[in-house]
Amino acid sequence: MIVGVPRESFPGELRVALTPAVVPGLAKAGLEVVLEAGAGVGAGYPDADYVSKGAKILTQRAEVFRTADIIVQVLCYGSNDKSGKGDLPLFRRDQILIGFLRPLGSLETVQEIAAAGVASFSLELMPRTTRAQSMDALSSMGTICGYKAVLIAADTLPRIFPMLTTAAGTITPGRVFIIGAGVTGLQAIATARRLGAVTSAYDMRPAAKEQVHSLGARFVELPIEATDAQDAGGYARAQGEDFYRRQRELLARVVAESDVVITAAVIPGQKSPVLVTREMVARMAPGSVIVDLASERGGNCELTKTGEVVIEHGVSIIGWINIAGRVPYHASQLYGRNLSAFLLHLVQDGKLRLNLEDEIIRSTLVTRQGEIVNPRVREFYSLPALAALQGGH
């Protein structure tokens, strides 16, 4: 079977779906890799590196789609709303598509992917289980994102993070507050601590307390209890507006005392909960920084503008999206490993194994033979259950 790697077409996207290092392992499993010329250059992987590992370079994008049985991308149409649609006419019926699809973003987009006849797999839907850990690209990108967010904050802040004792006196350490202690938040905590900041964190899941403490940060406890804080997949659940209102009241003091606030509270498929209000921003010291990692879905800060940096009340609010893409070399390395682990799970002895009894395959398969087949995606868009649908034929 042939795996095709087209160049990422989203504006400014430098990552690549597979790196040269994973090519020999795929070849051993009977998978040949073809690559659009220059696909890895932006991430620091020249064509020659791929060729030396046994991959083939094709000059035309259309040729990659024509040749490959499986197309792998970082941002497929779905998570690429700028230029992804251009790939639709290139797909062949029963071709396999794997990557970030944002399946809970727009029903119309998922229907268009289904209509192209491809069997598409969304890496965002990877179950958070031990078996699937090596394939969890969302966690890999979250790790890079948490690290980079702290560096962006440190670079923007007009103060320094560590305590310094100098001949000119002592400089007090910066105070960093992280809201949301998932994979991204925990990496942000670790990075802020390494840079010498006094770090504290809050998460509505009680289980996060121990993890925050293990990284040497203070866990901010609020006297409110979330109901069903996480779902069976380990993702945060949305709470009622009363909970968020009380949460904001209690967080206001901690936010006001912080030099940097990093928010990473994301609910899959839903608008991000507003945790930092304009009043809270107004109480922060001038020069403070907020990095809103939930900005793609509206942001955890009321004043965030998606994709932009705004300054309000002297506070810089950074709403950049795709922060993992700003570290393309290592982001591609991790993504490529996750993707190759998934490919090796999917293809055995050179043959595709679409075993729907397998939780990993069942959870990530979104479209097949013109239909949206994923139960979670169908439920999200209030589509009738597939069995009922087929019964009516």
Task: Note the pLDDT of residue 229.
Answer: 64
CA 16 – CA 35 distance, rounded (Å): 10
Catalytic residue among 95, 139, 288, 295, which? 139
Catalytic residue among 106, 133, 348, 369, which? 133
Antiparallel, parallel or unpaired: β 218-219 and 289-292: unpaired
Percent of the chain residues past pLDDT 90, beyond the cut = 86
Task: Note the pLDDT of residue 350.
Answer: 84
Q: Which of 321, 354, 370 is the last residue of a domain?
A: 321
Domain of residue 192 covers 145-321
Mean pLDDT (whole number) for 268-276: 89
Q: What is the number of domains present in the chain? A: 2
Task: Note the pLDDT of residue 164.
Answer: 97
Q: Are residues 175 and 300 in the same domain?
A: yes
Assign residue 379 the CATH number of its domain.
3.40.50.720
Residue by residue, DSSP assigns 272-297 as PPP-B-HHHHHTSPTT-EEEETTGGG
Task: Note the pLDDT of residue 337.
Answer: 98
For residue 118 the two structure tokens come to 């491809």
Q: Are residues 197 and 345 in the same domain?
A: no
Q: Are residues 180 and 307 in the same domain?
A: yes
Q: Which of 273, 290, 321 is the last residue of a domain?
A: 321
Task: Note the pLDDT of residue 223.
Answer: 83
Task: Decide if pLDDT at 137 tops 90.
Answer: yes
Q: Are residues 105 and 154 in the same domain?
A: no
Q: Are residues 310 and 364 in the same domain?
A: no
Task: Decide if pLDDT at 231 tops 70.
Answer: no
Q: Are residues 190 and 74 in the same domain?
A: no
Give residue-wise pLDDT tens across range 310-324: 999 999 999 999 999
Q: Is 133 a catalytic residue?
A: yes
Q: Are residues 95 and 151 in the same domain?
A: no
Phi-psi region for residue 373, left (φ > 0), alpha (ψ -120 to 50) or beta?
alpha
Percent of the chain residues past pLDDT 70, beyond the cut = 96
Task: Decide if pLDDT at 245 tops 90.
Answer: no
CA 198 – CA 185 distance, rounded (Å): 15
The pTM of this model reads 0.94
CA 111 – CA 106 distance, rounded (Å): 9
Q: Is 136 a catalytic residue?
A: yes
Q: Are residues 282 and 338 in the same domain?
A: no
Catalytic residue among 83, 235, 246, 283, which? 235
Q: Which of 304, 321, 338 is the last residue of a domain?
A: 321
Q: Is 130 exposed, middle or buried (0-12, 13-18, 19+ CB in 10 A)?
A: exposed
Catalytic residue among 128, 193, 237, 362, which? 128
Task: Note the pLDDT of residue 334.
Answer: 98
Q: Are residues 345 and 298 in the same domain?
A: no
Task: Decide if pLDDT at 389 tops 50.
Answer: no
